[in-house]
Amino acid sequence: MIKLFIEFYSKPTVNCIRKWKPVSQNNRSQVHTDFAKKPGEMVSLHQQCQIAFGPNFGACPNNEYYHGRPICKRIWCKDRRLKRSEPCQTLTYFPAFDGTECARNMWCIAGECIENPKKWIDCKDLNAKTCSRYSNMKLVFLAALTVVVNGWYYGRPDPGSSTTGGVWPLPWTISYDSYNHTINPASFYFTSKVGACDVIDKATARYLKKFLFPRYKAASYSDQPATLTSLVITVAQGCDQGYPQLEMDESYQLSVTQGKAIATLTANQVWGALRGLESFSQLIYLPDDNKFRVRAASIADSPRFPHRGIMIDSSRHFLPVGVILQNIEIMAMNKMNVLHWHLVDSEAFPYTSTVYPQLSQKGAYSPRHVLRGVRVVPEFDTPGHTGSWSYSIPNLASKCYNSNGAISEMSNIIDATIPANYDFLSNFFTEALALFKDNYMHFGGDEVAYDMRECWYNNQDVRKRMSDMGLGSDTSALLNYYWKKLFGIIDKARAGTKKVVWQEVLDMNVPATDSIAHVWKGDTLDEVMQEMASVTMNHKAILSSCWYLNYIKYGADWGYVNEQNMRDRGMYYQCDPQNFTGTQAQKDRVLGGEAALWGEFVDSTNLIQRLWPRASAVAERLWSDPKQTTSADAAWPRLHEMRCRLLGRGFAGEPVNDPDFCPFEWDVQYSD
């Protein structure tokens, strides 16, 4: 719509429409007759920004600082309520109106900055044929103006609103310079001062090949001049040969400076260098003249929380390794650092065990696919949700009976009274702990109350063994016994393992003093924060309640709050894991959070689209300064650019904020 509006307003016949006063809240349609002027004389650059973005916007202080994009071709605007460091915004099509002064004694005409243009073409006679649509077009103009100023499509954001070179998630400190470098994809290179280091070497090769300059043809850039030629990477602690862990240092400093042909990236550890490398890649943009440029900027950045994750569920639908690795790649783009892998559940056991190969006879993952050098936290949910285990291991699960004594169709909880089952658990987890190198492992523990009644209390054989163990008929005592035995096995197999459990384990008063609570309960924001306040009294916590991305609803659920039931609409950007009433010590126990994607209706055909870029909202909440990221409306232009960046890099991220468009649109190759 803005394109049609600007094209119409730039034509000579627009002089048949009376001039409108500058935009204000109280008077948007006041008109005056002035048919001797071009639109750009009647409407200032600031007012043109108000037309496109709303009354709080004005022109950037220096619209020429986007080299190759003078205002006659595209105007850059800024929300005057935001900090100076925030980037300017534009639209895919947003040239200045004809008659806008672009330089001293020069004016915009048809997208060019021209000196001494021809005399303006006037509408001499309102009744002439050239003005025959005066009445109707006047109404169209005023209606279009009202729509533009008040918001697009009944209050929705402008479809073309996007930053250029905006970094996601927002760095804690970022300062843009009033200059942009040119860069030549054919000759740009990285210099590493780390020495031989697979983490850095493979990352720089990957960025050069795939992500810095997506969809370009090298031959087109062989002779393009460049004011930025390379990025030098320095890591204070040298190359880390181990696996990333919760305690890793992800801080970095990035400097792309005017007048310097070499940019610098410094970090304490290689993990921070990876985060800085991604930020550098996001400063690169492709303007209208089809020549890559880099935003000049200084960044000092580090994460707010150490645990920033995505939970995927491969138990309900098999997920090919390719789509898992693709998701990890996008996680890195969003500076998320934990893949919580819900590997097994009642429906399936898609994990290859060398000790118990019969567990995974159908649809399993091989250990060679897991060892990717990324932080992978596996979840083996016990003692419930183990129905699939029981098909291969005799007597592992208790038989279940309803209140009438009829046997249930499926056993779904481990029989905690049989000693041999603990031998199985010892062998199995000893193998799993050797395979997965992360210090953390998730042991589940959710939704067991029903099975404790049906499969333990209603099972006479289990009740008898409980009595022989001195537990009477108290199934809660048996649950405590199970967790004590299991955690003893874990500590023996690998000392120092951090144990994550779903919050029910702690809600049921299981004595698991060193466990980390994974919070998933609460249907409203108040309920979620009450859960966080409760568990952080004595435990470290990870939050997922706000971020169940398997729920989808009509609308922009990534950023807006529906207090009645957040899962009806979503509140991903607005949910803060520390926004509960509690002591500073409690808030310090919050490790971070995870976006959860349960797999009942998700497989390889829709995992990427369902997650991204909706999960990007979670990434910014967990990485960035909460004081600078309070407004979803202010974040939208950067998120839109991030979504377009996904498409440009070959990932099918779905649209998340009503109608929009990207320079790179997703396409599927199809032939008869």
Tell me, rounded to whole angstroms, the distance of Cα 259 from its chain centroid.
33
The verdict on whether 447 is a catalytic residue reads: yes
- Among 536, 527, 546, CA closest to 587: 536
Please provide the DSSP assignment of 34-93 as one string: -TTS-HHHHS-HHHHHHHHH-TTEEE-S-GGGSTT--TTTB--EEETTS-TTSPPEE-SS
- Among 393, 317, 316, 318, CA closest to 357: 393
Residues 6+ away with beta carbon under 8 Å from 190: 204, 207, 208, 230, 231, 232, 233
Residue 130 DSSP class: G
452-to-188, 380, 400 alpha-carbon distances in Å = 62, 19, 9
User: How many Å from the N-terminal Cα to the C-terminal Cα in the chain?
Assistant: 35
Is the separation of the CB atoms in 90 and 74 below 8 Å? yes
> How many Cα atoms within 13 Å fall on the side-chain side of residue 55?
10
Name the maximum alpha-carbon separation found in the chain: 105
635-to-58, 427, 473 alpha-carbon distances in Å = 18, 49, 56
C-alpha–C-alpha distance, residues 235 and 251, integer Å: 11
Give the 3-state secondary structure of residue 522.
coil
- Among 19, 26, 66, CA closest to 182: 66
Cα–Cα–Cα angle for 70, 73, 78, rounded to 5 degrees = 70
Active-site residue (options: 447, 504, 594, 641): 447
Q: Which residues does the annotation mark as catalytic?
A: 447
